[in-house]
Amino acid sequence: MRMSKLFFQTLREVPADAEIVSHQLMLRTGMIRQIAAGIFDYLPLGLRVKQKIEAIFRDEMNAIEGQEVNLPVVHPAELWQRTGRWYEIGDDMARLKDRNGRELCLGMTHEELMADLAQQLVSSYRQMPFMLYQIQTKFRDEPRPRAGTIRVREFTMKDAYSFDLDFAGLDAFYPRIYQSYFNIFHRCGLEVVAVNSDTGMMGGTMAHEFMAITPIGEDTLLICDSCGYSANRQIATARKPQPPVAELLPIERVHTPGATTIAALAEFLNIAETETAKAVFLVAELAGENGKSREQFVFAVVRGDMELNETKLTNAIKARRVRPATVDEIHAVGAEAGYGSPVGIKRDQVLLIVDDLVAASPNLVAGANQVDWHLRNVNYARDYKADIVTDLVAAAEGDACPQCGAALRSVRGVEVGNIFKLGTKYSKAMGATYLDEKGESHPIVMGSYGIGSDRLMAVVAELHNDENGIQWPITIAPYQVSLVSLGTPKTPDVVEAAERIYRQLSDAGIEVLYDDRDERAGVKFNDADLLGIPIRLTVGGKGLKNGIVETKLRRTGAMSEIALDNLLVGVQALIRAELQAIDATLTEEKLV
């Protein structure tokens, strides 16, 4: 491609509304253009990167016998209603009606349609196992689009779905997709870690997220460098301290004026925060009859020095979502904000959930449900009982690893892919069954596996750049070679040589972006660095006299020369070396 013909425009100034490096660079390089919050155009250079990422998706899915399909973006509501997710998902789902008043939605994922497809076409055990995948547009009405194409509303996703006879088949396939995802990320030049994660709205029995470690990440990960344990903070656990053994003392009311926080309470009573119980008041939306929801007041209790993990709570009570309770709602159940306690509340109106460490800890200080008063020596079982006792707290850096006891490390990450063992959640709802050898009917066992190409592209740009621009890995760069001509009308020999080199490399199948523009050398070099093409060739008068072309590797900045009479072989060697550097990162991975 000649840059004089290329539809693009580079920007020298950083766009004011672009907060992170990848967003700034992708706008400055003319790869994307924002047209609305979370909605982007892909221009020729950006689309080439995106398409190369998606070609890697296809390679790896085909390698594990995936078959590509293409399902609609617009879905009939009744499919989502059959699984119940029509009622469970809130404003993130974009809903509409056709001219006949039929309810529809824009697909944010395709479990329902894939299960419905299996229901229509699969009848016998002989047809399984198999995996279908697509690379398809999705739409999620994200409330806070941010970070360029990392968090958007319209996006492209490779989503794959496996169909097995039983859970043993799914368990056998799961490591294969796990490995293929690592292959995809490594081939795109991206280092990731896999962490155990919450199954969320997808449901199922197991899930893993693939995380790129970066300070811009919205997710917090807990990692053990000793044994390899890793999990998203949403579900991460820690080895809790052993509570002291003590005689249960009688409850004692104590005046604590103004002690509305755990820190203030501990200071006032001259005790450790570990000796207190913290009350958290929430209202949960639970599933009701006929797909409708109902609200339930939830009282959660954790030790004072720890934080409630709302994901763990939500999963424990199978809530669709939770929100903070209002002061009036708190008073209605006999509690008091800032002085809350499970002792003396209206139990028939409250779902009481207690962390297992609180239940095992003797003589804690808790609220008295009265302003300026607390209770000493509150003990679980003797003074109150819960509906559920479970792990409710958020693991944090420095906590003991649940597997080996070493200190956990906390890092930030961006999720670039996820895989789920769905089981029979969707197949049962959609009636997707098969007949076994005995003619008996069973639900199909499913898995779901997704990667977004837009986000992956942005994360690579976020992690592969320097002060001069992007440094694309050669596997996904828009072009392999940037050919810069320093020729002018006064140096026709340089122009002719550059044209000859362009034709020679292109004819050999090398992807060349040829800068034939009438621009200063500094502008051309700056644009080559900004665009991040892996290999730069410079054709100038001095080099021609010496029979060489100058080269520069964008990844390392290394400069060298190639003889004109050996140019094709030399460029092919540079390309091969860049590809080998990518291949060297491929490893066999074990499930965490």
Q: Which helix (H) or strand (E) holds 353?
A: strand 351-355
Contact 513, 479 (CB under 8 A): yes
Cα–Cα distances in angstroms (integers) from residue 384 to residues 139, 291, 343, 388, 468, in the given order: 47, 33, 6, 12, 63
Same domain, 360 and 499: no
Answer whether the bond into residue 129 is a cis peptide, omega within 30°: yes
Task: For residue 307, tell me if it sits in a domain.
Answer: yes
CA 585 to chain centre: 21
* Alpha-carbon gap, residue 195 to 211, rounded angstroms: 7
Domain boundary among 336, 357, 390: 390
For 24, other C-beta atoms within 10 Å of its C-beta total 20
254 and 373 Cβ atoms separated by less than 8 Å: yes
In a shared domain, residues 483 and 512: yes
Q: Which amino acid is at 117?
A: L
The CATH number that applies at residue 287 is 3.90.960.10
Query: Given this model, what pLDDT does residue 581 score?
Result: 95
Q: Which two tokens stand for residue 131?
A: 């995996």
**Would residue 159 count as lying in a domain?**
yes
The strand pairing partners of 483, in sequence order, are 514, 537
Instruction: State pTM to two decimals.
Output: 0.90
Backbone angles phi, psi at 519, to 5 degrees: -130, 160
96 vs 74, 290, 536, 583, CA distance in Å? 9, 22, 50, 46
Distance CA 162, CA 510 (A): 37
Token representation of residue 465: 């750049």
> Which domain CATH number covers 132?
3.30.930.10
pLDDT of residue 328: 96
Q: Which residues contact 533 (CB under 8 A, 6 or more apart)?
A: 472, 477, 478, 479, 480, 481, 482, 513, 554
The tokens describing 11, both together, are 């920007």
Same domain (yes/no): 279, 376: yes
pLDDT of 19 reads 85
Backbone phi, psi, residue 582, to 5°: -70, -45
Residue 184 sits in the same domain as residue 297:
no
In a domain, 78, yes or no: yes
Count the Cβ atoms, other than its own, within 10 Å of residue 123.
13
Nearest to 209 by CA among 173, 238, 233, 176: 233
Predicted pLDDT at 201: 61
Kindly give the parts of the chain with pLDDT less than 70. Answer: 200-203, 289-291
- For residues 103 and 205, membership in a common domain is answered with yes
Residue 261 lies in a domain: yes
307-to-311, 397, 500 alpha-carbon distances in Å: 12, 13, 67
Indicate the number of domains in the chain.
3
Q: Which residue's entry shows tokens 């339930």?
A: 296
Question: How far from chain centre, in Å, is Cα 207?
Answer: 12
CA–CA gap between residue 137 and residue 436 (Å, rounded):
36
pLDDT at 206: 83
* Of 556, 550, 536, 551, residue with least CA distance to 466: 556
- The reply to whether 561 and 454 lie within a common domain is no
Choose the final residue of a domain: 330, 355, 390.
390
Extended strands (E) in 424-462: 433-435, 441-443, 445-452
Pair 67, 203 in one domain: yes
| Domain membership flag for residue 20 | no
pLDDT in tens, 64-111: 999 999 999 999 999 999 998 998 888 899 999 999 999 999 999 999
Per-residue pLDDT at 198: 80
Whether 324 and 256 map to the same domain: the answer is yes
**Alpha helix segments (H runs only) across 106-158:** 111-121
Q: What gap in Å lies between CA 362 and CA 381, rounded to an integer?
A: 11
Q: Which pairing describes strands 66-68 and 130-139: parallel, antiparallel, or unpaired?
A: parallel
Cβ atoms within 10 Å of 57's Cβ, excluding its own: 25
Contacts of 535 (CB under 8 A, 6+ apart): 474, 480, 481, 482, 551, 552, 553, 554, 571, 574, 575, 578
Q: Buried (b) or exposed (e) across 373-403, using 16+ Cβ within 10 A?
A: bbbbbbbbeebbebeebebbbbbeeebbbbe
CA count, 13 A, side-chain hemisphere, 141: 10
Determine the number of helices (DSSP H) and then strands (DSSP E) in the chain: 16, 31
Question: Which is it for strands 409-423 and 433-435: parallel, antiparallel or unpaired?
Answer: unpaired
Q: Domain ends where: 357, 390, 423?
A: 390
Structure tokens at 377: 């020596």
**Same structural domain for residues 424 and 518?**
no
What's residue 88's pLDDT?
Answer: 84
Note whether 78 and 111 are within 8 A (CB): no
**Cβ atoms 527, 470 nearer than 8 A:** no
Measure Cα distances from 161 to 75, 271, 394 in Å.
17, 54, 32
> Kind of pairing, strands 130-139 and 154-164?
antiparallel
Is residue 507 located within the same domain as residue 539? yes
- Within a domain: 350: yes
Regarding whether 535 and 422 lie in a shared domain, the answer is no
Q: Are residues 355 and 451 part of one domain?
A: no
CA distance 479 to 533: 6
Q: Which domain holds residue 513?
A: 479-583
- Residues 498, 514 contacting (CB under 8 angstroms): yes
- For 113-156, the pLDDT digits (tens) are 999 999 999 999 999 999 999 999 999 999 889 889 999 999 99
**What amino acid occupies position 59?**
D
Q: Look at residue 404 and tell me if it is in a domain.
A: no
In a domain, 574, yes or no: yes
Does residue 299 contact residue 326 with C-beta atoms inside 8 Å?
A: no
User: For residue 526, what is the domain's CATH number?
Assistant: 3.40.50.800
Q: Mutual orientation of helices 44-63 and 453-463 as an angle, nearest 10°? A: 110
